[in-house]
Amino acid sequence: MKQTVKRQARTVPLVLSVSMLVPALAACSGGDSDDTNNRRTLRIGMMYGSADNESYVRQQYTDMYELAHPNLDFEFVNAIDYSDMQYSSREEQMKFNAQDPIEKLKAIMTGPNPVDVIMLDTGTMGKLVEENLLKPLDSLIKEDKVDLDAYLPNVLDSLREQGNGQLYGLSPTFSSSALFYNKKLFQKAGVNPPTDGMTWDDVYNLAERMKSGSGKDAIFGLALNDWSSGLDYYNVTNIAAPLKLRMFDEKAENMTVDTDQWEAVWKRPIELYKNHAIPGPEDLQPEQPQDGSYRYNQFDNRPFFTNRVAMMIGSYGMTNDLKTYNDNVGKMKGKEAIDWDVVTYPVQSQAPDMSGSMYLDQLTAINAAAANPDDAWEFIKFINGKESAKFKARSTYELSTLKEFAQPKEGQSFHIEAFYQLKPLNVSSSDSDQKLYREMPNLNLISSLAQPSFQKALSGKLSVREALAEWQKNGNELLPKIKADPTGNLDISAYMDYGDGMSSPRAMVMQAAGG
């Protein structure tokens, strides 16, 4: 009986808060929101989706708005429905993947029953703008006196670039990574900590200055990701993203990786790994007591939480993990608090204002052929506005695009501007590249060929340029096979020789050095 009373007591404030919220939202919208005789449907188009994830999308974007607008129904239309291939054969899945997502999206925008709102990414938005398929928002923004100064300027600048100077879409949130650093380690070493706007070469040089000691006392300069240490081809791919280097030509007939540009991208991080400025998987393995007293700790295998890594690339979500760690460090035997801060994600000198790690998560735009453009704009205005941002700001993994809510969580103090000072990277490939990958899905195998060659360069079995030449040679042998069999099961095992049959990059380095 007491438990029932407690549950009811907890429920009352929730019911009251929701009941108070609904009129508030209704007040912010059109005056006929409660007119059930004026029932309408707002159709939202998405590039990908399925019925399985619709409830999540509704929770994220429409439930709160629908609660305040009982006369408005939401209908989701997926240009490509994942459930169509869920139980398909491999051949059918290949055909599914060969579909042109832009053309499928255009079909639900221009058909007999067009969608009203489009949820999309920046690259897709740019293509739709070129074909005049989206409604510009500038006049609506001006008419409703939407305060654009409240938004992060780099986000708006990026969106305007995709719209040839105009705004065609807005995004309520974004995800981003930055360079975390350990203040105590820099102070102890007498080295100035990293600053905003540093290039990757700057960070590499700083990492080498920060490495010291050996064995259990070793301090490492840089870790490229959380949860794991080491270095592989995919880490380097992320670093090089703003350079937009090609693996093969526009006809997918010849490889293009045996170049000075690719060599420069691989060379420095490999040098840092060999010099132990970047730790390997074996370097930070926690010691486990032999008496059976070991208890799992989620932070044990995460490089930055050992207080032995000076800098690390981490996402915004890591700020919350660091707070959790420092709040509970007193309960962890042998652990100490981390004094940390962040600076902007390292840049390439050729793209000094571009972050390779900032992404607009869900752009919303109005279909130029929308049957219900007024409701579409009211909805977009709401999910990108202050009322919605109050709730989005509670997220532990993404940030609000509104300045007021892009702030550290209560009780934290760090340089949060580092997560949004740079511009988001437009990661979309050219139309010709997208067409090639759709027509020949096996082109994805070319990237897989890079890892064995990269590991040989890491071990010293090959020089960087020799490793790139090997990747190019193997790729040139595979490309004709891909063209002849673009969707079949191609055996690439002959190209997956890692050198010594060893899976550990550090072990390969040690063996090459005679250790």
Residue 375 pLDDT exceeds 50: yes
Distance of CA 230 to the CA centre of its chain: 20
Band of pLDDT at residue 19, cut at 50, 70 and 90: very low
pLDDT, position 5: 40
pLDDT, position 347: 96
pTM across the whole model: 0.86
- The CA distance from 164 to 181, in Å, is 38
pLDDT, position 30: 46
Q: How long is the chain?
A: 515
Percent of residues, the chain, with pLDDT higher than 70: 86
Q: Where are the beta strands (DSSP E) in 72-188?
A: 72-81, 117-120, 169-170, 173-175, 177-182
Which of 400, 492, 505 has the alpha carbon at shortest distance from 443?
492
- The CA distance from 390 to 498, in Å, is 50
Place of tokens 């691989």: 266
Contact (CB, 8 A) for 199 and 349: yes
Q: What is the DSSP letter of 365?
A: E
**Distances, alpha carbon 72 to alpha carbons 40, 109, 114, 235, in Å:** 5, 20, 17, 46
- 3-class DSSP state of 117: strand
Contact (CB, 8 A) for 445 and 478: yes
Contact (CB, 8 A) for 88 and 96: yes
Which of 492, 490, 487, 434 has the alpha carbon at shortest distance from 88?
487
Residue 513 pLDDT exceeds 80: no
Per-residue pLDDT reduced to its tens digit, 261-290: 999 999 999 999 999 999 988 887 766 666
pLDDT, position 1: 43
pLDDT, position 386: 92
Band of pLDDT at residue 409, cut at 50, 70 and 90: confident
CATH number of 20-175+358-419: 3.40.190.10
Place of tokens 């010293």: 460
Residue 339 pLDDT exceeds 80: yes
Contact (CB, 8 A) for 419 and 316: yes
126-130, 439-443, 506-510: least confidently modelled range: 506-510
Q: Rounded mean pLDDT of the chain?
A: 86
Band of pLDDT at residue 91, cut at 50, 70 and 90: confident
Which of 211, 177, 174, 172 has the alpha carbon at shortest distance from 191?
211
Residues whose CB is less than 8 angstroms from the CB of residue 481 and which lie 6 or more positions away in sequence, other chains included: 490
- 3-class DSSP state of 254: coil
pLDDT, position 487: 83
Contact (CB, 8 A) for 419 and 399: yes
pLDDT, position 356: 84
Instruction: Tell me the two tokens of residue 12.
Output: 């009352």
**Distances, alpha carbon 295 to alpha carbons 282, 300, 331, 417, in Å:** 20, 10, 12, 37
Per-residue pLDDT reduced to its tens digit, 198-238: 999 999 999 999 999 998 899 999 999 887 778 999 999 98
Q: Where are the beta strands (DSSP E) in 345-419?
A: 359-360, 363-366, 399-400
pLDDT, position 36: 60
Mean of the pLDDT values across residues 105-110? 96
Burial class from Cβ neighbours inside 10 Å (0-12, 13-18, 19+) for residue 260 reads: exposed
Mean of the pLDDT values across residues 448-456? 95
